Each structure stands twice: as C-alpha cells, then as structure tokens.
Amino acid sequence: MTNIFSKKFFPVGFVFIIFIAVSVLLRLALMFQSGLNARMNLGEYAGSFVVGILYDISVAFFAIVPFVVYVWLQNDLVYRKKIIPLIIAVFSIVIGLLIFTNIIPKEFNALVFKIFLYYIIFRFVLYLLMAFVSAALRAKIRIVLLNIMLVITLMIIIFNAVSEWFFWEEFSTRYNFIAVDYLIYTNEVIGNIKESYPIYLIVTILLIIVFALLFTIRKIILRWAYICESIQQRTWKALLLLVLPVILYFTVQEKWHHFSKNEFANELAANGIYQFGVAFKNNDLDFYKFYKTIPDSEAFKTVKYQLSASNSNFTTNDPYNIERKIISGKAEKKLNVVLISVESLSASFMQHFGSTENITPYLDSLSEKSMLFTNLYASGTRTVRGLEALTLSLPPVPGQSIIKRPDNANMFTIGSVFKSKGYVTQFIYGGYSYFDNMQAFFSSNGYEVIDRTAIKPADIHYQNIWGVADEDEFTLALNTIDKNYQQQKLFFTHIMTVSNHRPFTYPDGRIDIAAATQSRSGAVKYTDYCINKFLKEASLKPWFDSTIFVIVADHCAGSAGSVQLPVTGYHIPLLIFSPKNILPVQVNDLTAQIDIAPTVLGLLEFSYNSKFFGQDIFKTSTPERRAFISTYQGLGFIQKDQLIIQSPVRKVNQYKPDFKTGTASIINTNDSLVKIATSFYQAAAWLIKNKKFNK
C-alpha cells in the first residue's frame, strides 16, 4: 500500500490519511461529548475504535477515487499514444454494465453517469489544451488543478466532521434518515444552519485549516508535478485502488457496527458518511424482507382479536380486513375539535413530570383543568411520524413515514371520519407546507391546507427559516376558526406549531428568557406562552364552549440513550381541555399516540366505521393497552411493562424497561407477546403495501 501511495500517487495517499485522521478525531470528540451519558465500559470504547476504523477505511477508499482517476489519466504520454479513447470506452462499458446489472443502486444511476461523462469530457478537453503548451506551464496547471481539488475535498471532509458534531449534539446519533431528509429540503436546512450557527466564522476557520495543511505540503506538490511514471505503473496502481471500493461496497455490512448492547457504542463505531448512504438506500424498508414474520392470516387473526371490543363489530368476514363498526349507544356530541400538535414537547419539560425549569407554566396549570394523560408514548422521533400517528392511527411501519410516501391519497384518517359527520377539516402550519410533503398528503386526504402563505407580510411579527412565530400561526388559526363559525360549520382544525425547533428563535419581550439565548428552554417557554395566549383569546369567542382542545406533542425533543429505543425518549404529554364538556381527570394507564384519534372520537360519542389500529382508551381494559415506539428501523412494542424490539435482519429482542431512566435489561422473549407485536406491524405493513388502508 505504501508503494501505491508513493511518488505520483502522493495526493491519493494524502487525502486517504487526512480522511482517516479526521474520522478518528471526530470519533474521539463525539466520545468526549457523550461523556457519562454513554455508560460505556473500556471494551466498548476499544470496540468503537476498532470497528470504526474499518468503516473509516472503507469510506476513505471511495473519497480518493477522483484523485486516483486524476493521477492515472494525467500524463501527456497518455494523450499522445491515443489511449484516452480506449480508457473512455473501457470506463463506459464498465459503468454501463454496473448500471445495467443494478449493481449500482438505481438512485445513483443518473448521477454516476453524469459525473462520469462530465469528467471524461473535461479531461479530454484539458489534454487537448495541454498538448500545445510548454512542460513548465503544464506543471503549473497540474499544481493549480490539484490544489483546487484538494481545497474542495479537504473542505468537504472537515466540514462534514463539523456537521456530524452538530448532528450528534442534537440527535446523539450518526447520520440517519433525518440527514437524508435534510438534504432534500435544502432551503429550510441551509436557512436553519445559518440561523443556528455562526456559519461564516466556521467556514473561515475551516478554510484557514485547509490552507495551512496545503502550505505544509507545498514543496511536495511542487516536486510531484514533475514526477513521471509509465502508463503501466499508473494503471496497475489505479486499477487496484478502483477495485478496492467495489469490493468493500459488497463486503462491508452496516450491521457490523452493532457490536454492543449500548447504542452509544454502536453509533460511535459507525461512520457518518457510510450511514448516510445506508439511510439513503433504505428509505423504504420491506417488512417482509428485513423483519421476522408469521403467516399473514395468523397476523391478521391476532390483530383482529386484539382490536375486538364490546362496542364494535367487524363489518366483513374478509380475514385481511380490520374494518369494524364502532357503536356508541349514546347521542353524538356536535362539538368542534382543535388539535394542537406541539413541536418536540417532551413530557420531561413539564413540572408535572419532574421538571424544575418552569418552562411550561401555562401547560402545568392547564393540566389541573384538563384530562391529562401521564403515560403516553410517541410513535417516532420526527414530526411526520407524529402527524402519521395522529392522523392515521397506524403503527409506524419501517422506513419512511406514510406522510412522505407516494400513493398516500384517500386514506382512512381522523379527518375522513369528521368529514363523514359534516365537519370541515383543516391543517394549519406555520411554515411552508410543501416541507415534509405535508401539503400533498393532507390536501389529497380531504383537508384544507393553510400555511404561512395565508398571512400577510405586515401581519408577521417574527419568522425564521422554519416558519412564522407560533403567536402569528395561532392568530391565523383564530381567524380561520372564526370564519368556520360565521359559516355555521362544525370544524376539526389541526394546528402544527414550529417555534420549538432549532435555531430556537422567537420575539423578544414575551417570556423571561431572552430570545438572544437561542435555547430550547426559551423556545419551549415561548410556545407555552403562545398556547396560553391562543386559549385566552379563544375563550372570548362564541365557539369556545362547544370546542374540545387537544394538546399533544408530535415527538420528544430527543430520543438518545444507551439502549436502542429508550422509552423516556418517547414519553410525551397529552391534555384534552374543554371546561364545559370535559371533567379534569388524570389518566395514568399506558396510551399510544395512535390511540388519540379513536379516544377523541369516543369522547364525542361518534358511531363510525373504523380502520384504526389505535384504541379508545376508555373502552379498553388495562392489560390490553399497548404503545408503539420506533426509529426508521427499530420497531418497538410496549405492553404489560415489557418492550419488544424488532429490527433488521429478522431480529427480535425483549426488554424490561425502566420507565424513569430509559435504561432496559434484556430478558427472555415471551412468544405470545412477540406474536402480538409482530402481528400489529406486519398487518399494518401488509395493508400499506397492498393499498388497503383507504377510505
């Protein structure tokens, strides 16, 4: 290997070493950042580095490919001997075969082909130009081109390390599905970065570091420009260095970094760029391919048994249909419903759940006047997962949320139930609703979508890249609801807040935490202030007494822990408030986020046909209550104080979780509980795959 990276291939070896060094230093920095929270032993620390270096080396071999090709095709001798057309032909055939045989993932086909084509054209034109200049000028051109390539590459390597640091700071994990989403929504993400971090200072510092590195090797680069190697020498070295990434692509497995029961150790052992590629490729995980399954008929039989209730009857004998008629037996209550899903509102923020920060003073006081659910768990870690659970009452199937998938129109939703009862259904968002596909999903499922574009610029008090301040969004909601009332329409209005999101900015003068701090605590308290303001103003409206307000988080502020699915990272509050209609009570039984829709409809005494997987919590006995928690790969099922986790490839583990600390100890699996957990996820996956979850 030393011989390969010597002399003419010095730039290749230099980039390779820098990539490895930065990756190792990043791993060390993340290790120190995690601190005592990681709860890792010495063996896990060592394992993180040993396993991690394997991934670092694998990605490094991909990082050096442009330099390998550059050095290989650079000598004038190559052009004079007319080898360029041969090389172009060989490369074209190889790339073509890789694409044709689907060895290269289809997502990359167009990109790979374009990059390859543009690069070959560039090199061919460059050789034509250099054929007519002196050797000294050719050397200078080579030096300039190499330095440009090195500056760009080193900036990407180091900037990526800084990005991973901040990503870890927020999510305590390497790049994952979230990072892929961030790449898609560049406007919001770039704006968020600019507003959250001193980006220009960071870039300036990184440029100084890069130029300092290049300054130290300037003499080596100068000598390198005049080194000549025969085409035979360069070819065998280049081919070896180009074959290695292909071999590593097929041999290195994502599962190798899961060497420990401690998730911090597993994440530290991973490489962010590698994990990004995995997340990009696996944005839709086939349940039947990656998870343990049972016969579909058995899964549906189990689910139908679990969903059986005294107030419901299945509408068909079809074994793969869970539709049932919910019968109230009482007069329906014609009440309006306002559902407020609050961005990143962990239960731990509230004083009721042990917080001492006093950042939710209004919600804490409101909890004494509301139906407060104290044992509720979010379905996932993203807003789209929360919206999916609240709207579809569906277990979180692996991969991407239904909100962001194609073919998600005309599904069975809480909105479709309200529309069948004559309600107007609306979704109000403070940002641009194209984000996370919210506009497409809600509008194609019968909702009127209203976002920041409905607010006149003069009426916006404050905004950041994610949207307008919550108080402006709630003003928009009040005006919208007033119009509904004036038109004598019953309404179901779903409001999604945005302010409790990095960069955590909000207007000054609202709360006692200065906006300049840009802290999550301030953002939480500001949202609490806005909900207070909204409900006070709503209390003066003629529709207030006939309206139920449902306040719930979309997900927690963080879900990191030393175990794969720490239950504390999914614990969220739910308040149902309606002074004239709902008596204050504390509900302490286990509740899932997907239970909210059927529970609210139950409070309204609605009779309706249901395809929900959730339960009306007041019509379900305590032993049958369950909750679902997930990442995009890990599928959690909680019942009877036990946690079942299903994960690729066909792994199933059972844990005894500590609901106060989030830790969990592995225990022997209970076959009957595993069967129930498998059945729910498998039945949901089957219905989505076969497009059977429609109205």
- Considering only 142-151, 324-333, 486-495, which range has the smallest mean pLDDT? 142-151
Same-domain status, 294 and 212: no
Specify the pTM. Answer: 0.75
Residue carrying structure tokens 């036990």 = 642
- Residue 509, Cβ neighbours under 10 Å: how many? 7
Structure tokens at 633: 């790969």
Instruction: Classify residue 182: in a domain, yes or no.
Output: yes
- pLDDT, one tens digit per residue, over 201-225 is 888 898 999 999 989 888 888 887 7
Q: Which of 338-342, 518-522, 564-568, 678-682 has the lowest mean pLDDT?
A: 564-568
Co-location of 376 and 417 in the same domain: yes
Q: Are residues 546 and 507 in the same domain?
A: yes
Flag whether pLDDT at 100 surpasses 70: no
pLDDT digits (tens, 9 = 90+) for 386-407: 999 999 999 999 888 899 888 8
Non-local (6+) Cβ contacts of 488 within 8 A are none
Quick one: pLDDT at residue 81? 47
User: Do 542 and 646 have their domain in common?
Assistant: yes
Domain annotation covers residue 101: no
Q: Which residues contact 177 (CB under 8 A, 6 or more apart)?
A: 279, 283, 382, 400, 631, 632
Average pLDDT score over the chain: 86
User: How many Å apart are CA 27 and CA 230, to the nearest integer?
Assistant: 40
One domain, residues 387 and 528: yes
The residue-averaged pLDDT of 523-534 equals: 96
The domain in which residue 172 lies consists of 7-75+146-283
- pLDDT exceeds 60 at position 75: no
> 596 with 390: CB under 8 angstroms?
yes
Question: Residue 563: what pLDDT?
Answer: 66
The pLDDT of residue 136 is 66
Span 137-154, mean pLDDT? 82
* Number of domains making up the chain: 2
If asked whether residues 217 and 294 sit together in one domain, one would say: no
316 and 275 inside one domain: no
DSSP assignment letter at 608: E
CA gap 278, 268 in Å, rounded: 16
Residue 94 falls inside a structural domain = no
The pLDDT of residue 20 is 95
Alpha-carbon Rg of the chain, whole angstroms?
A: 29
Find out whether 426 and 492 touch, Cβ atoms under 8 Å: yes
Residue 437 lies in a domain: yes
Residue 669 lies in a domain: yes
Q: Flag whether 531 is in a domain.
A: yes
pLDDT at 191 over 80: no
- What is the C-alpha separation between 380 and 388, in angstroms, rounded? 10
Q: Can you tell me the mean pLDDT for 642-646? A: 94
Q: Which pLDDT score, from 0 to 100, does residue 464 have?
A: 79
Mean pLDDT of 119-130: 60
Co-location of 279 and 293 in the same domain:
no
- CATH code for the domain of 504: 3.40.720.10
* One domain for residues 60 and 152: yes
User: Does 385 share its domain with 400?
Assistant: yes
Residue 128 has pLDDT above 60, yes or no: no
For the segment 690-695, the average pLDDT, to the nearest whole number, is: 87
CA–CA dist 261, 664 (Å, integer): 10
Q: Does the pLDDT of residue 139 top 80, yes or no?
A: no
121 occurs within a structural domain: no
Average the pLDDT over 449-459 and give the result. 92
Q: Burial-class residue 472 by CB neighbours within 10 Å (0-12, 13-18, 19+).
A: buried
Residue range 351-377: average pLDDT?
Answer: 96
Question: In terms of domains, do 422 and 467 share one?
Answer: yes
Strand 571-577 to 547-553 pairing: antiparallel
Whether 170 shows a pLDDT value over 90: the answer reads no
What is the pLDDT confidence band of residue 695, given thresholds at 50, 70 and 90? confident
What average pLDDT does the segment 45-57 reach?
91
Quote the pLDDT of residue 79. 43
- 562-594 residue pLDDT tens: 567 889 999 999 999 999 999 999 999 999 999
Beta strands in 55-159 (DSSP E): none
| Mean pLDDT value across residues 230-258 | 84
Mean pLDDT of 40-59: 90
Residue 103 has pLDDT above 70, yes or no: no
> Can you give the pLDDT at residue 436?
83
41 with 31: CB under 8 angstroms?
A: no
Task: With respect to residue 527, please indicate whether it lies within any of the assigned structural domains.
Answer: yes
Which carries the bigger pLDDT value, residue 219 or residue 481? 481
Q: Is the same domain home to 300 and 276?
A: no
